A and B are shown apart, each in its own frame.
Chain A
Amino acid sequence: MVRTYETTFIVNPQADDATIDRQVRAVTDLITGNGGEIVHEDRIGTRRMAYEVAGLTQGFYASIIHKSETSVLPQLDRHFKLEEPYIRYMTIVYEGDIERLKGDRDQAPERAARPTGKPETKPETKPEAKPEAKAEEKTEAKAEEKTEPEPEKEATVTKSEAPRAGEADTVEATAETPAESEESDKTKQPPADEEL
């Protein structure tokens, strides 16, 4: 009977990349050699384990989703038990969406090429120079109140840097109102007894 299984295993990460690759391929060859079909292969990579296993705190995780006969399972168990580099293994019946995995399979090489743990650096955008030039122009023309869609952001920046006299008064005025509002709120707040 053919079923879809997911085999997840942990390999000792202290070995070379070539050795780890060989160990993962040994599992896939075992599956395909017994008439199975590999649906999705995911090499998650080296990650820290939640607890110590076989004296190791890190392990190389790999997951293989395959369609194979039930007779493959005892062979897989035997392979994992006898070979040394496999720390943990587990095979379950996969109940997820296989078609979605096939779409991810095309992205697997790109995901493997992505460096782990490093933030993706955003490319520098050229238009950054233009707003700076516009900000310089706006600082020169502060007296003129120009309303434009793009420079509005720079205009707010320039205002914070060099506030005008009129705006300072408004800031102070707004500062006063919260105190007044607090007093008004105190009068409006119901007594504690009424809340219960």
Chain B
Amino acid sequence: MPPFGGRRRRKICRFCEHKISYIDFKDERMLSRFVTERGKIVPRRVSGTCAKHQRLLTQAIKRSRQMAIMAFESESFR
């Protein structure tokens, strides 16, 4: 529940909406939307992702970090 008690539109999982069952770890453009400026993975209460896709997303992001497609930590914050 939001702290102000006001109504907030329920976020729909983007992957469920588009019926995506596989998240490619090479797709940096899509994965970067679920990562903060510092390079941290956004929690699903913020992104609105469902539990199943959040697990797949986390796995894809970690693989892309291993393959140097995405950074572990953004350099701008060092």
Contacts and interface: CB of A to CB of B under 8 A. Distances in A.
B71 interface: yes
B66 A50 contact: no
Nearest to B69: A50
Interface string A97-121: 1000000000000000000000000
B22 A96 contact: yes
B1 interface: no
Interface stretch (A31-39, A87-95, A131-139): A87-95
Nearest to A9: B67
Contacts, number: 34
Interface string B13-46: 0000000011010100000000000000000000
B67 A90 contact: yes
A63 B22 CA distance: 16
B53 interface: no
Tell me the dominant secondary structure on chain A's binding face. Answer: strand
B68 A88 contact: yes
A92 B68 contact: no
B68 A44 contact: no
Contacts of A92: 63
Contact of B71 (A50, A59, A95): A50
A63 B71 contact: no
Contact of B26 (A49, A63, A95, A97): A63
Task: In the A-B complex, list the 6 residue pairs whose CB atoms are closest, starting with the nearest.
Answer: A96-B22, A49-B68, A50-B71, A50-B68, A50-B70, A53-B68
Interface of B: 21-22, 24, 26, 63, 65-72
9 contacts: A10-B68, A49-B69, A50-B70, A50-B71, A51-B71, A90-B66, A92-B63, A95-B22, A96-B22
